[in-house]
Structure 1
Amino acid sequence: MSGLWIVLLGAGLGLYVATAWWHSRKPLPSGLKVTGPWRDAGDSRLLLDETFLDADGQRHCRQQIVDEWLRLIGQARRLVMIDIFQFNDPADSPPDCHRRVSFELVDALLARKREMPELEIVLITDPINTAYGGHQATHLTELRAAGAQVIITRLSASRDPNPTWNALWRLAIRQWGNTTRNGWLPNPVGPGRATLRSYLAALNLNANHRKTLVVDDGDGWRAIVSSANLDDGSSDYRDLALTLSGSAALDLMASEAGIAGFSGASGLTVPTPPPAAQLSTATPRLRILSEGAIRDALLHTVETAQPGEQLDIETLYLSHRGMIKALLGAHRRGVAIRVLLDPNKAHFGRPSPGIPNRQASRDLHEAGIAVRWSDTRGEQAHGKLLLRSGGNRPATLLAGSANLTRRSLDDLNLELNVQLEATLAHPAIDRARDAFERHWHNTSHEHYSTTYAAHADPSRLRYWRYRAMEASGWCVF
């Protein structure tokens, strides 16, 4: 009997290891790891949400992103396609939120659908908004009742970021599904109750982290690629977005249609993007990038930066070891680098010891790279931006949903960025440079950032804790 148990244990262990290996490396489904063709970017704009303190210490929010979403939805006649990570139920809105952005979006969609009954609304979202199937999201039910196609992303089709847990979940837990009835535990991602199975699914630590909008705009198409979620609790975060139009918007729509397809949507047809035209490198141009293609473009931008050029980074999370090594290499080559980081005071509303930024930034600071902290007061510096400027080449701007982490860059989360190449005079490049300068230096009337010493962490224990979390996937960043 003991021999049989050894055989069974060995077979079970082998199945577990094989499941962990395969689902962390398997081919990606259609719509993911997209490197879009270069498209004309003449009318691309940068939108900013900024929270700052004035000279008297009073807090202010100046916002553009959601307002542009609402404007575009309000004129759509054929199609509104949204892919959004966090989109809370307005019924669960916290009483002290800055702005009820989820209510505004739902109201705008329903109002436009009443005005234009033939309007097709496609909403792709992450299962976090239903507590992974354990919470009844009334706003999603309301949108479905109005005729919108609401698609919950099938994350199991993508790769697993936390394989030691993901394999166990796939083999022994996933088959039990989930239910919105009889939840007895606090909702891990919002108000109300959820089931134990919601917690077990949350430990998979994967996400459709995209934040995009595509709508018809007259006879053409317009899109927004953003770092901003549509949950009320983050409505005062510092965020940014790029607008794009024409063929680039169709490239984005095609990628989103791929996600809808592998998540079980049916009957969804989108226009086919036209073939790419040959564009001069001097022409303002952009392309969409998703998942690992974002990493490739970021690393190429940093690794090919030259002395006399400037690299400016402003991001919520920086922990990807490949990016850190590339930045250290660029610094050694004489590239000027500035890194502005969120101090990571909290993750999903829960206190944090500053992991990963306070630990990862040590490698940069000790090498002599300039690092500052966003001086947050309850909000997060949630934008994700890398800008290369100076020298004799056109500037490069990379912005969107992807943090500079393993989950965001190594084909694990679903992410969407835009890469824009243009001269310094292009409005989006000029605005990105101006925003970074204001955030870095502050002004007499707008305070955004503070010194590295304000949140420096000398703990070796927390440093290696960050390294272990990043490598294993047992982390929310």
Structure 2
Amino acid sequence: MIVFISIYISVIFYHSLKPLPLGLSMEGEVHYSNHVQFLKDTTYKDKNGKRVLKQEILTSILKQIEEANKFIVIDMFLFNKDSDKDQVYPNMTETVVHALIKKKQDYPAISIIFITDRVNTAYSSYPSKELTKMKENGIEVIMTNLHVLRDSNPLYSGIWRMFFQWFGEKGNGQLPNLLANSAPKVNIWSYLDLLNVKANHRKVVITEKAALISSGNIHDASGYHSNTAFLIKGNIVGDALKSENSVSNFSKDIDFPTYKEKQEVYSDLQVQLLTEGKIAKHVLSSIKATKKGDIIWIGMLYLADRKIVDALKQAASSDVMIHIILDPNQNSFGNKKAGLPNIPVAAELVNATPANLQIKWYNTGKEQYHTKMMFIEGKQGDTIISGSANYTRRNLADLNLETNVKIIGAKEAKVMKDIKSYFEKLWNNQGAEYTKDYHKEDSVPVFRYILYRLQRLFWFTTY
């Protein structure tokens, strides 16, 4: 027993603290760009109570694909058509599959690489029809090797690494698919793998002309989610390629496209690629640098990271005005959720600094407010940090793979005006019922709060 416990503890510590694969937790160079475009997908309830969907991100992705000449690299967490049978969603996945295949057929010399997560095959329980079709048409598909990443659920993963990983087999699923009942059945080994709670959570589209860094997946069941993205031209494309090449290097050894940097012209906008733990570094430093009179806007699916929560409290106590729009965490692909982590975190923040820190809930239906963005209005200029990363331990502590962009610029810059207009429109419900006020009674039952505390303690959670 002593030997087993010693080995178990050793496995836990090693796989929680082991060196990251080369190229992860990247802090890219600061580049100048005159071409930064803000894109948004917004689902909302109009004044007549009808839900309305306005999409810009998919349209931009299709245009990127159409205009590419040399290469297309896509890294996308969710990429499938699976859903519950009684639900209907936009046909996003097949639209992109068709566009990529057509591009490859029309321009056989173009390099197209598609990087994704094993969740799209229910962790090897069945093949993805979409990915298989792309492979058959000459598109390079890379399934991310998640096992080289640090363990985010170490108490379980220690057991999995010692025992379960050696016995798994692909296919032959006999169990219901909890991810989507229209998808094929799942085998027990896939569920055991899923409990490691690991993900390549990035949402990036790169061509030789621009990099799109998004909070949104190309995924039918995510088709009604509200998301944001930034399309950026310039040398940040090279950093985005290097970041994706690092995933390829530990997942599948292939020839990867390169980008030749161009002479940069000074611009009022500075852009910087951030991945994994470097996102947390810049979010925290940006919050801590705020001063009295500055304004912080946050739009977020999940807010739970303790360092960020504490930094927001401190900023509010220093007379920084903070406006936070949160998803109520009550729906996920049409299924009910328990309101965790946002409801207890919101209560904590409001109770700590009610005067300077204000929270609103996004007025969701069966979709999610899937945005992950912070915008700081400072005296000397404004800062945006946005991308795939929620403000949680899994997303910020070098566990999940994540990609964000940091944009710094003058208040007069168009992108800064666009972001300010976006947040003010949602906050003030200009023309529609985008958000709902926070009320003291917005709380979770005691047993759910205890569950939230236990999840924080043992890290057995998806956020």
Normalising by structure 1, report the TM-score.
Answer: 0.92
Residue 450 of structure 1: which of 411, 422, 436 is its match?
Answer: 436
**Structure 1 residues 6-53: Cα deviation after superposition (integer angstroms, max 9, x where no partner):** xxx211111111111111111111221000110012211110000111
Q: Does 1:345 align with 2:324?
A: no
CA-CA distance at 1:297 after TM superposition: 0.4
CA-CA distance at 1:87 after TM superposition: 0.4
1:332 maps to which residue? 317
2:402 maps to which residue? 415
CA distance in 2, matches of 1:272, 1:462: 52
CA distance in 1, matches of 2:454, 2:33: 41
Once the two structures are superposed, the pairs formed by residues 437-476 of structure 1 within 5 Å of their partners are 437-443=424-430, 445-453=431-439, 456-457=442-443, 459-476=445-462
Q: Does 1:201 align with 2:193?
A: yes
Supply the AA of the counterpart residue of 1:187.
N
Residue 17 of structure 1: which of 9, 34, 59 is its match?
Answer: 9
2:107 maps to which residue? 116
- Conservation of the 8 A alpha-carbon contact between 1:406 and 1:470: no
- Conservation of the 8 A alpha-carbon contact between 1:227 and 1:400: yes
Deviates more, 1:169-178 or 1:256-265: 169-178
CA-CA distance at 1:453 after TM superposition: 1.6
Unaligned residue ranges in structure 1 (runs of 5+): 1-8
CA-CA distance at 1:464 after TM superposition: 3.7
CA distance in 2, matches of 1:95, 1:283: 49
- Conservation of the 8 A alpha-carbon contact between 2:290 and 2:378: no
CA-CA distance at 1:342 after TM superposition: 0.3
CA-CA distance at 1:324 after TM superposition: 0.4
**Structure 1 residues 96-155: Cα deviation after superposition (integer angstroms, max 9, x where no partner):** 433110011001001111111111110000000010011221111111111111000001
1:284 maps to which residue? 269
- Conservation of the 8 A alpha-carbon contact between 2:32 and 2:265: no
Q: Does 1:179 align with 2:170?
A: yes
1:373 maps to which residue? 361
CA-CA distance at 1:430 after TM superposition: 1.1
Once the two structures are superposed, the pairs formed by residues 229-268 of structure 1 within 5 Å of their partners are 229-268=217-256
- Conservation of the 8 A alpha-carbon contact between 2:299 and 2:374: yes
- Conservation of the 8 A alpha-carbon contact between 2:30 and 2:270: yes
Tell me the C-alpha RMSD between the 2 structures.
1.8
Q: Does 1:404 align with 2:391?
A: yes
Distance 1:325 1:91, change over 3 A: closer
SS of 1:139's equivalent?
A: helix
Residue 178 of structure 2: which of 174, 188, 194 is its match?
Answer: 188
CA distance in 2, matches of 1:357, 1:251: 33
CA distance in 1, matches of 2:410, 2:227: 23
Deviates more, 1:404-413 or 1:184-193: 184-193
CA-CA distance at 1:95 after TM superposition: 6.5
Q: Percent identity?
A: 31
2:214 maps to which residue? 226
- Conservation of the 8 A alpha-carbon contact between 2:237 and 2:259: no
Distance 1:283 1:466, change over 3 A: same
CA distance in 2, matches of 1:158, 1:258: 12
Distance 1:11 1:353, change over 3 A: same
Distance 1:134 1:370, change over 3 A: same
CA distance in 2, matches of 1:131, 1:456: 35
CA-CA distance at 1:79 after TM superposition: 0.7
CA distance in 2, matches of 1:134, 1:355: 29
CA-CA distance at 1:273 after TM superposition: 5.3
Supply the AA of the counterpart residue of 1:346.
N
CA distance in 1, matches of 2:169, 2:335: 25
Distance 1:278 1:362, change over 3 A: farther
- Conservation of the 8 A alpha-carbon contact between 1:254 and 1:272: no
Q: Does 1:167 align with 2:158?
A: yes
CA distance in 2, matches of 1:269, 1:72: 16
Residue 301 of structure 1: which of 267, 270, 286 is its match?
Answer: 286
Q: Which runs of 4+ in 1 moved over 6 A?
A: none
**Structure 1 residues 341-385: Cα deviation after superposition (integer angstroms, max 9, x where no partner):** 000013455421101000111111102121110010111000011
Supply the AA of the counterpart residue of 2:291.
Q
CA distance in 2, matches of 1:162, 1:87: 24
CA-CA distance at 1:267 after TM superposition: 2.5
CA distance in 2, matches of 1:296, 1:273: 26
Normalising by structure 2, report the TM-score.
Answer: 0.95
- Conservation of the 8 A alpha-carbon contact between 1:360 and 1:463: no
Distance 1:380 1:458, change over 3 A: closer
Supply the AA of the counterpart residue of 1:128.
V
**Structure 1 residues 58-105: Cα deviation after superposition (integer angstroms, max 9, x where no partner):** 1111110011000110121211100000001x4768564331100110
CA distance in 2, matches of 1:331, 1:461: 30
SS of 1:260's equivalent?
A: helix
Q: Does 1:44 align with 2:36?
A: yes
- Conservation of the 8 A alpha-carbon contact between 1:309 and 1:389: yes
Q: Does 1:57 align with 2:49?
A: yes
Residue 25 of structure 2: which of 12, 28, 33 is its match?
Answer: 33
- Conservation of the 8 A alpha-carbon contact between 2:101 and 2:139: no
- Conservation of the 8 A alpha-carbon contact between 1:188 and 1:199: no
Supply the AA of the counterpart residue of 1:152.
M
Distance 1:98 1:138, change over 3 A: closer
Supply the AA of the counterpart residue of 2:346.
S
Unaligned residue ranges in structure 2 (runs of 5+): none
SS of 1:360's equivalent?
A: helix
Distance 1:228 1:119, change over 3 A: same
Distance 1:403 1:208, change over 3 A: same
CA distance in 1, matches of 2:340, 2:305: 13
Deviates more, 1:52-61 or 1:264-273: 264-273
Residue 206 of structure 2: which of 199, 209, 214 is its match?
Answer: 214
1:99 maps to which residue? 90
